Each structure stands twice: as structure tokens, then as C-alpha cells.
Structure 1
Amino acid sequence: MAQFEDNFQRKFYYLRLSLTDVCNFKCTYCLPDGYQTETQRPQFLSQPEIQRVVTAFASCGTSKVRLTGGEPTLRRDFSDIVHLVSSTPGIDRVAMTTNGFRLAKSAAEWHQAGLTNINVSVDSLDPRMFHQITGENKYRQVMDGIEQALAVGFSQIKVNVVLLKGLNDRQLPAFLDWIRDLPIQLRFIELMQTGTMDDFFYRHHVSGQAVYQQLLGQGWIPKVRACHDGPAKVLAHPDYQGELGFIMPYEKNFCASCNRLRVSAKGKLHLCLFGESGVGLRDLLQQDEQQTALIERIQQALGEKAVSHFLHDGHSGMTPHLASIGG
């Protein structure tokens, strides 16, 4: 099969697959009121449906799958899904993004199932600030999970930090001290505007570019980006075992290197985190015989992928919050 490609010659090696939009944290920048239960129990993608969508992407050049949410490890069959995805021919990286609450207990099991990469959200190294931002008093539990993940063989953990003015924006020295002797890639993520979070965005947005330039002046050196990497601009330093990554969606030409597509937990293809709507795939995920039609629908949708997310124009699309389609 031909590589998935859009009208701007961008090729897509990377699928972000949401397993659930349920989350047990109440992060101020995403779900400040917690997950709101639907009137009807949501029907998230089943394992056979996941198998078919991953197989379709793998047959068209995708080599990396990231399992997201909500909180993906709330799925009771999470380990089975990891094994299913990692066993799919053509997939050589299976990553997940997690809040880390189950990491200490299950890191070894997930590693054995085929998980290769972990991103953990840790928005503060101060337990009180962590509690304030996440709505959960689980700082020690999450940090123990990171230690356990390193111990069982994950060679590098990525830790996501959403930069928030007035909350964690003065904690850079503490974060740098933390990664001096740990193989952790600390990723500073610029706060992004979503439909329900306009006021929060205007109060707490910090430009990642200023922090990035500051660190360049302190001897940090840019690394070359690999084809399957996400959008982070990565810095390394000879005195640090860890690395720094910056995800800056408001940077000029941020979308030029886009290499990822998203499928929601309910089976919709999203061409952009900030798109207007998803393209339904679920009707084509019921039988193996529908694979050709599934691939054709995805490729056809790629013809509509815009050149940019248009966040610079204050346009955040229809995404209500980041948990709704996997961030």
C-alpha cells in the first residue's frame, strides 16, 4: 500500500490512538471539573476494531503508535491492547501518554507486553503545586512509577510539563536539577487554547520560545529530529544525562513537519488536534474485508488536511478539551 500522504507532501508515520476519553485526574488546563459521565455508557473501540485500524495504518507506512486518552490505563484490557498493537507487522514503537497513577504497579507488565516508550505528565516537582494543578494528591505515587519504569528497562522516560504562568513557570531550575543524572527527556508544552478553556489560556499562557532561547544561551544544543518523532524541538547538554524537549504550537511553521494522525476512542479520524470535526471510521472497522475501503477513506480524508492549525488566528476548532481526542 502507498504511504499515507497529504496534499503538502507530509507523510504520516505516527498514529495517536485514543483508548478512552475518561480520566481520573482533574488537571486545570484540561478537565478542571473532572470527567463528566455521559448519560449513556460510551462505547469505546474494541480490541478487534483497534486491530483493524492499526493494521490499516501500518500497511500504509505508520511505524509508531501512541496510546492516549483520557487516561489510557483506565482500560482494564490495556495490557492486551499493548500486546495487540506491538504484534502488528510494521509497528516498531508502541508508546503511551499517562498520568502515571498505575505506573509503579504495572510498568513491568506493560514492558513485557511490548510497550517501548512512556510519556508521563508531571506538571510540578512540588507536591502541593502538583496537587493544585492536577486536582489529585498523587505526586509520590507518580514519581515512584517513573522510578519503577526506569528500573524495569524503559531506557528513556519522557515527562510532559505544561507551562503555566503563575503556577509552575518559575520551577525551571528544579526541573533541570532533576534530570542532571536521570535519562529523562523533560518536555515543556506550551499551553494550547481549546474551546472551553479560553479564560484559562489568557491567564496562564507562557511562550515556550523565551525559555527555549534562554537555555540555548546556557549551553544546550539542538538535536536532529527523526522522521517518527513528534513535534518537540529537543535540546541536549554535555553535563546532563537528561534532555529537554519543547512543544511550541504557536511557533512559525510548527505544522510543516506534521507526521501524525489521530483516531479517537469512538473511531473518528482527526486530521488535526484543532480541526473542525472527525471523519467516521467505525462502520469500516467491523470486518477484516473492509480494510481496503478503510484505507481509501483515510487517504481521501487526507486530501482535506489543512496546511496549518490556525491557532495564530485564535481559531481552536471544535476540540472542547485535550482529553476528548487524545491530546
Structure 2
Amino acid sequence: MAQQFEDKFNRKFYYLRLSVTDVCNFKCTYCLPDGYKPSGQKNSSFLTVPEVKRVVSAFAECGTSKVRITGGEPSLRKDFIDIIDTVSSTSGIQKVATTTNGYRMEKQVADWKQAGLTHINVSLDSLDPRMFHQITGENKFTQVMAGIDRAFEVGYEQVKVNVVLMKDLNSQELPNFLNWIKDRPIQLRFIELMQTGEMDDLFHKHHVSGVAIRNQLIANGWILKVRAVNDGPAQVFVHPDYQGEIGLIMPYEKSFCESCNRLRVSARGKLHMCLFGDHGVELRDLLQNDLQQNALMERISQQLQNKSQSHFLHDGNSGITPHLASIGG
């Protein structure tokens, strides 16, 4: 194995978030409220399957063991199953996850599992069909819930469900969500609303602190679990009376970036050190044939020395990220 990817703060990178499209068919208020709009970039095609294989192989060679395939909505790619198969068959990759809005899961999740998908995150911001429609812009609640049920039927032992809690919208649903996971092996992941370039007003109007939720959980007997090295940023809590778990993703907490173990590659082949970084690093010129793998690993390794110790969200600075779909959330 080549040298482990590591930055100047001695953080090692076991986790790649790989976007395969920035297209999404939902219009979530906190991400794409006006729906998807093409970027208008020249040469703006998304990574091909051979390019995906080369970038994942380089990361695996340098110690990455988990890849999350993201979007936009990744299942909109007609070759999504080929992408899963390509990632899962890469030597060294132990976990292959995706984050999906779930609307295609009922029909396709069995094929995803067969292709090697080991973990699923589904975005589900409300258990009320009307509120779901209001937040996502789509009347697909029934299909998403059926997709979650289908995932368990085809053999997934746990499904993670991502919820962005927003004041005056769905924040009052916390008791309903807790009741929902009492007898279901679902890890609910409450994601704190994040300020991005296009979302200042929404953030100030609807932001709910993750710390308040955490204090409530601890007061009710929830206990913090120990993180694995290739886990994401969630603080995961368990309770003896619940089959499900709760994960809290709190990017505004002071220590959030200390345990950073993940890098991002956009759907057009740029390396992003941080969801809220100031620029992306072009990799695509080194993804055109297998002979450039050493140069690819070297470029990534060098660029890691420029990775900041922390994001600057506390200063209201979300970098160049206009919205969360742009580089895969």
C-alpha cells in the first residue's frame, strides 16, 4: 500500500465522499428550493465509470476503506449499479454507502445490495406526508417509506435516516421520530441546518442547535457510542429501551473538525478538502488512463498539506459552496 493520506494536523483519511451527479429531482428548501439548474460549465460531463474506478483505486491504495456515493441524487445515474459494483470491487474498500432521497429504493434496492452496497442513508425530513411535501417539494412520502421497508426485506440490518430539523417546520416532530425508531433498527441522524452561500435567510429563520437536542437525549438516558476510524462525523447515541440509534451531526460545535477523516471528490472530478472550502483541486486530467495513478496519489497527498484545521462556519463563511448538492453534501 502507498503512504496513508494524512494532513499536516496528523489527520488520516479513511473515508471518501464521491459525488457522481449534482442533479436532483427533489426541491428541498435547505438545498435546492428552486430545483436543479444545470451549471452551464464547459466540459461539464460527470465522472465516467472508468474515472470512478481510478479515483477510488487511488484512495484505496492510500488507506481509504469507506466510500459514500453521493449526489445530487445518485440513483438518477443510469449506470448507478455499475458505479456501485466498480467501487465495491476495488481492493481495500470495505464499506460502500450511498445517500439517497429514497424515491427509487423500493424498485432498485435489491439490485444495489447485489452490486455491493453495504450501507444506506435515506433523507427523510418528516413523518408527516404534508410536511414532507412542503420541505421536499415532492409528494413522494409513501414511496420513500416503502423503500425503507424494502431495504430491510432485502437484508439490510440497519438503515440510516437523515433528518434536517428546522425551527417552525419539522422540529416539533422529534417525539414522533423517537417513537418511530423504538422497535426499528434505524439510525436517525439529526443534521444541524448549515449556512451555505444561497441560504442565509433560511438559516437564520430555521436553525436549531444540535446541542439542545443532545442535552435532551442525555437527560433521557441516551448514551454516546465510540466511533470507528472510518465512521462519519455523527455523535451516535444508544438507549437500552430502543432498537434504533440517534446520530447528531453538529458542524457548529467547536471540536467538529478535529476528527475529520473524509475527503470529497465532486461529480466533475475536483478534490474538495472540506464541504465549506474555498476551492477545488482538479483531478480529472489524471483520471484518463491507468498510467497516471502515481501522479494522482501524489497530487492528492500534496494538496492535503493545504487542508485547513477547521471550516469557518462560525464566521458565517461557507466558502464557495452555493448549496449542498453542488459537491455532494
TM-score over 0.5 for the pair: yes
Q: Which amino acid counterpart does residue 155 of structure 1 have in structure 2?
A: E
| 2:53 counterpart letter in structure 1 | Q
Per the alignment, residue 113 of structure 1 pairs with 115
- Give 2:29's aligned residue: 28
What is the CA–CA distance in structure 2 between the aligned matches of 1:236 and 1:60, rounded to whole Å? Answer: 33
- Determine which of 111, 135, 138 is the counterpart of 1:133: 135
CA distance in 2, matches of 1:276, 1:163: 27
- Please list the CA deviations of residues 105-129 of structure 1 after superposition, one character each: whole Å capped at 9, or x if unmatched: 0010000000000000000000000
Does residue 1:197 correspond to 2:199, yes or no?
yes
For the aligned residue pairs, the C-alpha RMSD in angstroms reads 0.8
The equivalent of 1:47 in structure 2 is 49
**2:79 aligned with 1:77, yes or no?**
yes
SS of 1:324's partner is: coil
Structure 1, residues 196-242: CA drift from partner, whole Å, max 9, x if none? 11111110111010011111000111100110100000000000000
Matched, 1:94 2:96: yes
Query: Could you tell me how far 1:41 is from its partner in structure 2?
Result: 8.0
Number of the residue aligned with 1:175: 177
Amino acid of the residue matched to residue 231 of structure 1? P
Partner of 2:234: 232
Letter in 2 for 1:215: L
Name the SS for the 1:322 alignment partner.
coil
Distance (whole Å) between structure 1 residues aligned to residue 211 and residue 128 of structure 2: 24
Structure 1 stretches of 5 or more lacking a match?
none
Identity across the alignment (%): 71
SS in 2 for 1:76: coil
- Alignment correspondent of 2:271: 269
Tell me which residue corresponds to 1:160: 162
Name the residue aligned to 1:56: 58
Deviates more, 1:234-243 or 1:37-46: 37-46
Letter aligned with residue 7 of structure 1: K
Query: 1:313 deviation in Å?
Result: 1.2
> Structure 1 runs of 4+ off > 3 angstroms?
38-42
Partner of 2:326: 324
Paired letter, 1:25: F
Match of 1:287 in 2: 289
2:103 counterpart letter in structure 1: F
Per the alignment, in what secondary structure is the counterpart of residue 15 of structure 1?
Answer: strand
Cα separation, 1, equivalents of 2:262 and 2:64: 9
Displacement of 1:88 in angstroms is: 0.2
Q: What is aligned with 2:190?
A: 188
State the distance in 1 between where 2:204 and 2:272 align.
26
SS in 2 for 1:303: helix
Amino acid at match of 2:140: K
Question: Which amino acid letter does the alignment assign opposite residue 23 of structure 2?
Answer: V
Which residue pairs with 2:7 in the alignment?
6
- Counterpart of 2:256 in structure 1 is 254
Question: TM-score if structure 2 supplies the norm length?
Answer: 0.98
- The 1:204/1:239 distance shift into structure 2, 3 A limit, reads same
TM-score calculated relative to the size of structure 1: 0.99
Cα distance in 2 for residues equivalent to 1:293 and 1:38: 29
Quick check: 1:150 aligned with 2:174?
no
Paired with 1:173 and 1:266, the residues of 2 have a C-alpha distance of: 40
> What is the match of residue 220 of structure 1?
222
Letter in 1 for 2:164: V
The CA distance in 2 between the partners of 1:140 and 1:46, in whole Å, is 33
Q: Matched residues in 1 for 2:70 and 2:92: separation?
A: 20
Q: Which amino acid aligns with 2:18?
A: L
SS in 2 for 1:323: coil
Confirm or deny that 1:37 pairs with 2:35. Answer: no
CA 1:41–1:11: 2 relative to 1, 3 Å = closer
The CA distance in 1 between the partners of 2:34 and 2:121, in whole Å, is 23
- Report Cα offsets for 1:269-320 as digits up to 9, x if no partner: 0000000010000000001000000000000110000000011111110100
Change (3 A) 1:37 1:296: same
Residue aligned with 2:138, SS: coil
Sort the Cα spacing of 1:230 and 1:129 in 2 relative to 1 into closer, same or farther, 3 A.
same
Give the number of aligned pairs. 327
What is the rounded CA distance, in whole Å, between the counterparts of 2:279 and 2:93 in structure 1?
Answer: 27
Gaps of 5+ in 2: none
